[in-house]
Structure 1
Amino acid sequence: MKWKITLRYLLSILSIVIIVFVINTIIFLGFLYFQGAQETNQFDSNSMENFTRTFQKYLYIEDDELLVSSTGQEALTQYGAWLQILDKNGNVLHSYHAPEDATDHYSPFELIHKYKYMDDKLNTYFIGEFENYNYLVVVPNSSERRFVLMINGQKTLLYITRFLGAIFIINLVIATIVGFLFSTILTKPVDHIIKRIHSLKERIFEAEKPKRPGIFKHVFANLNDVANTMKDFEQERQKLEEMRKEWISNVTHDIKTPLSSIRGYAELLRSEELSDAERLEYTEVIERQSLYMRELLDDFNLTMRLRNQELPLNLQQTNMEQFVRELVIDLLNDPQFSSKDIRYNSQTTTFYWEIDQHLMKRALLNFIYNALLHNEDDVEVDVFVTDNRIIISDNGKGIAKEEQRFLFERYYRGTNTSNVHGTGLGMAISRDIVEAHGGTVQLTSEKDKGTTIEIKMEN
């Protein structure tokens, strides 16, 4: 993958070089053509060569003599030039604005030499022809120069072709070397990014720190953030999956026993030999087991929703001193617990929490029920309310240290609860309710000295 990316990048650079070379060649040739055309136009319109060629319009023959019109003489003055008219033998017939020391006869060799190289006084000579006469237009100190250039068209084209080919090859080599070096620096992190994305696809969510991220530093940082987020999601998914499996397993396990009882007593009810008292007894067992199953399923559903934070809380600002005091009073008014030794004490009268009163009542009652039902009948239970804590303590049998860490696990019953009915979810539900409110539950206990549960709200 890395070499494939490098090759593609290198081909892109070479393509750009080729395109730039073609465009530059076209521009270069166009510039030469435009420059030549411009020079040609300039030569045609402003040069002395063109002036000499078109000077014929100022010449006329009168009485077999070649003369210059007044307009032509003005044109010579304007260009700062002088004129000599020659016959076929090189003799000067007439002169206009010529210096006194001007030559009056020109041999063919002299004409050629002065036309090509000027004379000793740096006069530039331009030669024209009119019928049977020649004329010289001479410009002192002219800015125009003549250069003799011999060009072989085929060789020149061959040289240009070789030159452009060499430039093209050199550019390709340089672009290949530079492109390769730069592409390896660029494509290495790109290849690493592709591998990281593939790792995320394969559910490998470990964050990595590349050695040389270069311009892709923020990309790798975002990939690490994505990996950490997906890792958290994966852990949460696994946790939920384990909870789902645990929920199904425990529901299946806990329902089998009451279902077996219901089925067994239902089969017994078919017997025609049963008395009315026996039928009533079996019916009560079936009803009791059915109620237990409903209670069990309700507790399962509640604890799962609490753990998954899917249970909406109907929060109300509540005076906890009054709330707990009324709860204890209602408990003492219950015939089942009216004879129990439950004592209430408070150090505050204005202790407010935002709570779901129904759920918090259930949590507190579960803690108190455990203290009453899992100890002897003469157990003493104290409910104490202070500024930000609710403390429920008893002087009962206590809990062994090795069992304390399991008390808030679902479906766990300690060694002191062997003969007590229940779903085994009470402590877990109570702890989950408190934590759903942002609070904490702390349990301390000592064998044969009782148990204390402290509920504290963080807010």
Structure 2
Amino acid sequence: MKGIIKILLRYILSAGGIAVILLITNFIILASWVVSYSTYSNTKYNISEIANGLRKENDKFILSEEASSIITNKFHWAMLLDDSGKVIWSKNLPEDVPLSYTASDIASFSRWYLYDYPVQSWKHPNGLFVLGDSKNTTWKLQLQVPEKVMYNSTKWISTGLIINFTVAMLLAFLLGIRFFLSLRQIVTGMNDMAEKRPVSLKTKGAFRDLALNINNTSKELLRQQKLIEKRDTARNNWITSVSHDIRTPLSMIMGYSSSLEDNTSFSEEERKQISIIRFQSEKIKQLIDDLNLTVKLEYEMQPLNMQSFFISELIRKVVVSYLNNLYDNKYTLELSIFDDVQDYKINGDMRLFERALNNIIGNSMKHNENGCDIFIELKKQNNGCTIEIKDNGTGFTEDVLENLNASNEMPSGVSHGIGLFIVKQIIAVHGGETYFKNLENGSIISLWIPEM
């Protein structure tokens, strides 16, 4: 809401600024027009200079070349009347213009028109000098302003500017309110769409097209959401159903194969084959458990048994367990714990953290059948602790590395697949981050766990 108010205020201020700029612009244009008109008038209608170009010598009137040129080129005709109203001199006098006038005739045309000819008059030493222009060339308007009005003109102009500015601001405010109401429903619709609620905006006003697009987008998103939920529900049900249905026969296979493996009546080769059956059955069981766990973590269905524990003790426990079960010298484990994290506690699900460590170490052994050295390091870093597990094995392929670092979806490939994806999920539900990287020889996986 605060953001919309800021937009409204900026809109009103912008409109007010535009109104001020327009007022100033109009004033400049008016002043320029007045100056231009004054210059044009002074250049064209300087009747006194033209009249002074007519002089009388030896009872004969002589017109200067400059005055004659101005009358011919810029006006049309001119004449001089004596005190009795008779024309005693003329130049280019039209045929429809009389040669004698009464006092009332002179009073009538001296400031206005003579037979539709716009005229001006000027007192000459020998009478009244009349300068005429062509018909339909000049408008003459009479303006009478009381002296008191002119005296208060400054106040009137200031008042007019204030009224103009006030009206402009009022109009801007009213338009801004309308804009605000239209924009508010757009913002409300966007918020509802972000919360995955149905949106049905009124498709009117300036934002009609935008409101229509938001309505259509909301419908499409809700439709896709239902499809995704339906797909996820089907996948979850399928995994749960399959894992449940396969668990009983798989347990029987594992139990019988374990018994047959210990039966000395079988030959060594037969017992070896039975051992392979048991081992592969255990892998299938592990895969089913991984599928169940990743689905539960993805949909937050896995209950977390949160407790405070020493992370160093958990890592030692996992490493010792692997060391006690190593039957050859192909794999080595080395653990390094910094002094400042010996007594460092984290709050989390210990069982899930143990599962994550087992998955990483087991992954290194699984994908390095010829053996490798595994190095585990625990240290404090960035308001938390970091567990680094690296090996000098074959490392990750580029596509697997990109999928592990960039994607939050379960990998489709077999290599480095669901086990490390579960590691990412476990660290993520505890608010941490996971990084995968190839080294010059081998790979490194970093688990950063924040303080809780």
Q: TM-score normalized by structure 1?
A: 0.43
Which entry has the higher C-alpha Rg, 1 or 2? 1
